[in-house]
Chain A
Amino acid sequence: MPPSPRDLALPYASPAEKAGDWQHLLDSAGTLRELAGLASVPPERWPDDEAVGHLRVAPPIADETTAERLLRWSVVFEAELSDLDRAVASAVQAGGQAALADVDLRSAVYLAEKLLALLYGIPAEPAGH
């Protein structure tokens, strides 16, 4: 069954849950920023970290290389990556999670997860959501 979006309009049950999602968004946004930046870097110069590790084991599509996959991803989702990055940066400047409505944060987390999942070739919906 294809992954379906969570109920993005669902309010958070507690401040702790919202804080957890905010931290998750910050982590995901950082990973997305790193990966999008690596699209223009030769693969031999990629860092040996977790984000790249997941990318290297992504199931191949046709005979596409990992670098080609990353470049295609960064081009196809350029608008999403750019808008998400700017939105998160703006939220940080505005004071973090308190500046965000629940639907804003849930949507941003959902979008970040989907972007990563497509690149990594894994289901987008994490367990527990």
Chain B
Amino acid sequence: MSGHRSWSEDRRARLADPEVAARAAAARAEAERVEREYQRTLSQLRHARRLTQVQLAAALGVSQAQVSRIENQADLYLSTLRSYVEAMGGELQLRAVFPDGQAALVGVEEVLGLAPASQDPTGEAGQTGDVHALFAMVILHAGRFDTAEERFRAALAA
């Protein structure tokens, strides 16, 4: 077997070439970026925001079991996904990507305007599903507003 190099030896030899090493590093970085941006599950996103299912349930005005169901559901309604993301403080964006490389943002509000509000997958919020989730946020804000004066003045001091 003289002259044979193992895979790891071969890899080390190839990576000794600075150009190859740079390409490999760039590819790894790109893979990690894609992983970060596109491969996170809802529960991973929630963990990254340091939120528990109970906290998110309170923000959404639903039970912890419902949050768990949403995170494990295979085919979510857009309105539910948007509420979930917004309850974490984010904004849901839809992007259409085509084989020729063209991409465009799709208006979430416009799409939701075409979808009946009764398409709430939890089946509990009924025709006011989005209203319920939005007012859950309002209730949350109202409950925390006792320190608003300090926040308002602190912004001036800063």
Contacts and interface: CB of A to CB of B under 8 A. Distances in A.
Interface stretch (A36-44, A47-55, A84-92): A84-92
B42 interface: no
B138 A83 contact: yes
B137 A83 contact: yes
Nearest to A114: B145
A99 to B, nearest CB: 5
Max chain A CB contacts within 10 Å: which of B142, B152, B156? B142
Contacts of B151: 76
A71 B146 CA distance: 21
B156 A5 contact: no
Given A83-B134, A86-B134, A118-B148, A99 B128 contact: yes
A5 B141 contact: no
B131 A111 contact: no
A72 B128 CA distance: 33
A83 B146 contact: no
Contacts of A103: 139
B152 A111 contact: no
A101 B128 CA distance: 11
Interface residues of A, number: 31
Q: How large is the interface on B (under 10, 10 to 19, 20 to 34, 35 or more residues)?
A: 20 to 34
Nearest to A9: B139
B59 to A, nearest CB: 10
Contacts of A122: none
Given A107-B142, A111-B141, A111-B142, A100 B135 contact: yes
Interface in B104-153: 117, 127-128, 130-132, 134-135, 137-139, 141-143, 145-146, 148-149, 151-153
Q: Is the interface of A mostly helix, strand, loop or mixed?
A: helix
Contacts of B97: none
Interface of B: 89, 117, 127-128, 130-132, 134-135, 137-139, 141-143, 145-146, 148-149, 151-153, 155-156
27 contacts: A5-B146, A61-B153, A72-B155, A76-B152, A77-B152, A80-B145, A83-B137, A84-B141, A87-B134, A87-B135, A87-B137, A90-B131, A94-B127, A94-B128, A99-B131, A100-B131, A104-B131, A104-B132, A107-B135, A107-B138, A108-B135, A108-B138, A110-B142, A111-B142, A114-B142, A114-B148, A118-B149
